Amino acid sequence: MLLKPQSRIQVMEGAKHNLPDRAALKAANAIRDLAEGLTAGDLLLVLISGGGSALLPAPIPPVTLEEKETITRLLASKGATIHELNTIRKALSLLKGGGLARAAYPAQVLSLILSDVIGDPLDIIASGPTVASSHSTQDCFHILTRYNMLDTLPQSVQTVLSGSATGHNTPKDYSHVFNVVIGSNRLALEEARCQAEELGYLTLVLSDAVCGEVSTVARLYSLLIQLICLSTARGARTDLLKDKVEAALSGLEAQLAIPGLNCTHALKALQESQAGRPVCLLAGGETTVQLRGSGKGGRNQELALRVALELHRAKSTEAGSFLEKYEIMFLSGGTDGQDGPTEAAGAFSSQELVREAEQEGFNVETFLSNNDSYTFFTEFQKGRHLLMTGLTGTNVMDVHAILIRAKGG
């Protein structure tokens, strides 16, 4: 950040690699001192974005920074969700879980929040420094029990957790605080919808809460695409095919339980629209990847490659034969411009990609079995399918886009 010499803005950097460190601790202490020095006539303006938890470490003594970092890293390695992680982080922090707002009292606090968590839960985004915590000490002990960590907690953590039942988590008056979400996946999808419609696409937003294992989500998208390609076909045989695909799609919808996702409604809306227009389906959220290989990639690149493989496999089925009549593109990208430990934001694919790859000697399944989507997209057609945006400086999770257009349309 280039500041003028006389600037009153102080930049304090820390938490490299998204892990709390001494530099971040120093910054958190400086922020806390500033907040505690405010009076009723002051306004504290706070900008909160994803990654904020690591940037604002303020462990409640006697918990040390190292102990707090160890407990959160262990929880993450055991597969704890961001909700579980941040519930523990809040309980062990002077600033998270509304602590910054309490420190600033009686000053007014205006918090502008960029959400990188599905559902935009204010007290979970960056562990909610200006939001009253909705969690109790009991919740913390349930989480630590779930991950078999209760018996190995440092004494300091046990002291703070048992003491916080009467202290830091007690509901406080937050009437001096105003929290507002100014950026979210839903807002990003709405903007994408406007752009797609300006380009002539009939556009639908499916959900801003896509979650679940990447291979299952890929299968759901493939079935949805098949159903859309079948929708204009007529006849008893195709009706049977539609029923079969629809049943498989409903099963996956139930399995994933993505909030707000209703593919039947989406299809009905498409059918009631002007037939023949190209279609754009948008969705957002964060899938999860069970890493079994040693390759390089990210959930967005893996999703794009898995969708391509699902569509390729579908083409050899009767329902999938209708895909030939359409041009289909799928894109998945991280809005922060980074997908996993790669410099790509994501990738795009089509129903022809696997066939084209095989013609050039690439076996997509081999790359996927090694979680090596980045290597595939880098080597295949000189990286033409990679989405390279550079770091965007913000993060409202991932965006998925499906484009379907009748060939010759």
Ligand X SMILES: O=C(O)[C@H](O)CO
Ligand Y SMILES: Nc1ncnc2c1ncn2[C@@H]1O[C@H](COP(=O)(O)OP(=O)(O)OP(=O)(O)O)[C@@H](O)[C@H]1O
Residues that bind ligand Y (CB under 6 A): 18, 50-51, 116, 289, 291, 295-299, 302, 334, 336, 338-341, 371, 373, 395
Q: What is the rounded distance in angstroms from the CA atom of residue 207 to the CA atom of residue 218?
A: 15
- Chain centroid to Cα 80, Å, comes to 15
Task: Give, for 42, the enclosing helix (H) or strand (E).
Answer: none
**Residues 69 and 22: beta-carbon distance below 8 Å:** no
**What is the smallest separation between the CB atom of 282 and ligand Y, expressed in angstroms?**
19
Q: If contact means CB under 5 to 8 A according to the sort of partner, which of ligand X, ligand Y, none does residue 289 touch? A: ligand Y
**What is the smallest separation between the CB atom of 12 and ligand Y, expressed in angstroms?**
19
Q: If contact means CB under 5 to 8 A according to the sort of partner, which of ligand X, ligand Y, none does residue 52 touch? A: ligand X
Q: Which is nearer to ligand Y, 209 or 229 (CB)?
A: 209
Residue with CB nearest ligand Y?
A: 297
Q: Which of 51, 52, 121, 59 is closest to 88 using CA atoms? A: 59
Residue with CB nearest ligand X?
A: 53
Q: Which is nearer to ligand Y, 349 or 395 (CB)?
A: 395
Instruction: Give burial (CB, 10 Å; 0-12/13-18/19+) of 227.
Output: buried
Q: Could you tell me how many residues make up the chain?
A: 409
- Chain centroid to Cα 314, Å, comes to 28
**What is the smallest separation between the CB atom of 134 and ligand X, expressed in angstroms?**
15
**Residues 261 and 207: beta-carbon distance below 8 Å:** yes
Q: If contact means CB under 5 to 8 A according to the sort of partner, which of ligand X, ligand Y, none does residue 400 touch? A: none
Interface positions with ligand X (CB under 6 A) = 50-53, 82, 86, 116-117, 125-127
Residues with Cβ < 8 Å from 216, sequence gap 6 or more?
252, 255, 256
**What is the smallest separation between the CB atom of 397 and ligand X, expressed in angstroms?**
10
Q: If contact means CB under 5 to 8 A according to the sort of partner, which of ligand X, ligand Y, none does residue 122 touch? A: none
Q: What is the rounded distance in angstroms from the CA atom of residue 409 to the CA atom of residue 404?
A: 10
Q: If contact means CB under 5 to 8 A according to the sort of partner, which of ligand X, ligand Y, none does residue 57 touch? A: none
